[in-house]
Chains A and B, each alone.
Chain A
Amino acid sequence: MISTTTISKKKLKTMREDILVDEPRTDKQKIEPLPRDRKPMARNPFWAIVNKEIADHVRSWRFIVMVALLVLTCLGSLYTAVTNMSAANNSDADSDFLFLKLFTLTDGTLPSFTVFISFLGPLLGIALGFDAINSEHNRGTLSRLLSQPVHRDYIINAKALAALIVVSVMFFALSFLVMGLGLIRIGIPPTAEEFLRIICFVIISIVYVAFWLNLSILFSVRFRQPATAALCGISVWLFFTIFYQMLVSVVARASAPSAMATPEQILQFQNFIQALLRIVPSQLFSDATTTLLMPSVRSLGPLTMSQMVGTIPSPLPLGQSLLVVWPQVTGMIAATILCFALSYLSFMRKEIRPR
Chain B
Amino acid sequence: MNNPIIELINVTKRYPAYTAVDDLTLRINQGEIFGLLGPNGAGKSTTILMMLGLTDPTSGSVRVCGFDSTRHPIEVKRRTGYLPEDVGFYEDYSGFENLVYTGSLNGLGRSEAEEKARKLLKRVGLSDAADKKAGKYSRGMRQRLGLADVLIKDPEVIILDEPTLGIDPRGVHELLNLIVQLSREEGLTVLLSSHHLHQVQEICDRVGLFVKGKLLAEGDIRALSQTLFSNEPFVIEAGVSPASSQSIDDIVERLYEIDGILRITADGASLHVGSARDASSEIARAIVQSGAGLQYLLKKEYGLDDIYDHYFKEKVENYA
A64 at the interface (CB under 8 A from B): no
Q: How far is the CA of A140 from the CA of B89 in the complex (A)?
A: 7
When distances are taken between beta carbons in the complex, the residues of chain A under 8 Å from B82 are 143-144, 147
With A52-B101, A354-B161 given, is the CB distance from A147 to B91 under 8 Å? no
Tell me whether A144 and B149 are in contact in the complex, defined as CB-CB below 8 angstroms, given that A38-B111, A41-B110 are known contacts.
yes
Q: Of the listed stretches A42-50, A108-116, A117-125, A181-189, name the one at the interface; the rest are far from the partner chain.
A: A42-50
Interface string of A336-355 (1 = CB under 8 A from B): 00000000000000011111
On chain A, the residues within 8 Å of B102 by CB distance are 144, 148
- Contacts A45-B104, A45-B105, A354-B161 given; does A147 touch B88 at CB 8 Å: no
- Asked if A151 is an interface residue, CB under 8 A from chain B, the answer is yes
Chain B residues with CB under 8 Å of A42's CB are 104, 109-110
Measured CB to CB, the nearest residue on chain B to A44 is B107
Are A147 and B77 CB-contacts (below 8 A) given A49-B105, A354-B84, A354-B161? yes
Q: Does A203 contact B (CB under 8 A)?
A: no
- A148 adjacent to B110 (CB under 8 Å): no
| Alpha-carbon separation in the docked complex, A43 to B87 (Å) | 25
What 4 A-B pairs are tightest by C-beta distance, nearest first?
A140-B88, A147-B82, A354-B84, A48-B104
Smallest CB separation, B31 vs chain A (Å): 21
Cβ of B247: which chain A residues have Cβ within 8 Å of it?
none
- With A48-B104, A149-B106 already in contact, the answer to whether A141 and B111 are too (CB < 8 A) is no
Could you tell me if B88 and A353 are in contact, using CB atoms closer than 8 angstroms?
Answer: no
- Cα distance A151–B74 when bound, in Å? 7
B55 at the interface (CB under 8 A from A): yes
Question: In the complex, what distance in Å separates the CA atom of A355 from the CA atom of B87?
Answer: 9
Query: Cβ of B101 and Cβ of A355 under 8 Å apart?
Result: no
Q: Are A45 and B84 interface neighbours, CB within 8 A?
A: no
Contact for B107 among A38, A45, A146, CB less than 8 A: A45
Query: Do A140 and B84 have beta carbons less than 8 Å apart?
Result: yes
Question: A65: CB under 8 A from chain B?
Answer: no
Which residues of the partner chain B approach A140 to less than 8 Å between Cβ atoms?
A: 84, 86-89
A-B contacts, CB under 8 A, total: 88
9 more contacts with CB within 8 A, not counting A140-B86, A150-B105, A355-B86, are A38-B110, A45-B107, A139-B90, A143-B82, A147-B54, A148-B102, A149-B105, A149-B106, A354-B84
Residues of B within 8 A of A141 (CB): 88-90
Residues of B that sit less than 8 Å from A by CB: 45, 49, 52, 54-55, 74-75, 77-78, 80-82, 84-91, 101-102, 104-107, 109-112, 146, 149, 153, 161
Report B-chain residues with C-beta under 8 Å of the C-beta of A147: 52, 54, 77, 80-82, 84
Q: What chain B residues lie within 8 Å of A145 (beta carbons)? A: 105
- Complex CA distance for A116 and B117, rounded to whole angstroms: 46
What CA separation (Å) do A355 and B86 show in the bound complex?
7
Given A37-B112, A48-B101, A353-B49, answer yes or no on A143-B84 (Cβ-Cβ < 8 Å).
Answer: yes
Tell me whether A40 is interfacial, beta carbon within 8 Å: yes
Q: Identify B105's interface contact among A48, A143, A355, CB under 8 A.
A: A48
Q: Which residue of B lies closest to A46 (CB)?
A: B105
| 8 Å CB contact of B85 from A40, A149, A354 | A354
Alpha-carbon distance A352/B55, docked complex (angstroms): 8
Task: Report the nearest B residue to A48, measured CB to CB.
Answer: B104
Q: Which residue of B lies closest to A51 (CB)?
A: B104
Query: In angstroms, how far is the closest chain A Cβ from the Cβ of B242?
Result: 56
Once bound together, how far apart are the Cα atoms of A128 and B104, in whole Å? 24
Q: Which chain A residue has the least Cβ–Cβ distance from B135? A: A139
In the complex with contacts A45-B107, A148-B102, A354-B45 CB distance below 8 A:
yes
Instruction: From A37, A45, A139, A150, give the contact of B88 (CB < 8 A).
Output: A139
Note all chain B residues with C-beta closer than 8 A to A354: 45, 84-87, 161
A40, A144, A145 — most chain B CB neighbours (10 Å): A144
Query: Which residue of A49, A52, A139, A144 contacts B91 across the interface (Cβ within 8 Å)?
Result: A139
What's the minimum C-beta distance from A63 to chain B, rounded to whole angstroms?
14
A143 to B217, CA, bound (A): 29
What are 30 residue pairs bridging A and B, where the CB atoms are less than 8 Å apart in the complex? Answer: A37-B110, A38-B111, A40-B109, A43-B107, A43-B109, A44-B107, A45-B105, A48-B104, A49-B105, A139-B88, A140-B84, A140-B87, A143-B82, A144-B82, A144-B102, A144-B146, A146-B54, A147-B81, A147-B82, A147-B84, A148-B77, A148-B106, A149-B78, A149-B106, A149-B107, A150-B74, A150-B77, A354-B84, A354-B86, A355-B88
Cross-interface CB contact of B74 among A38, A41, A149, A353, cutoff 8 Å:
A149
Contact with B along A32-71 (1 / 0, CB 8 A): 0000011011111100110010000000000000000000
Which residues on the A side are within 8 Å of B87 (C-beta)?
140, 144, 354
Distance, CA A41 to CA B109, complexed state (A): 8
Nearest B residue to A355, CB-CB: B86
Q: How far is the CA of A352 from the CA of B49 in the complex (A)?
A: 9
Could you say which residues of chain A place their CB within 8 Å of the CB of B101?
A: 48, 52
With A and B bound together, what is the CA distance between A283 and B146 in angstroms?
49
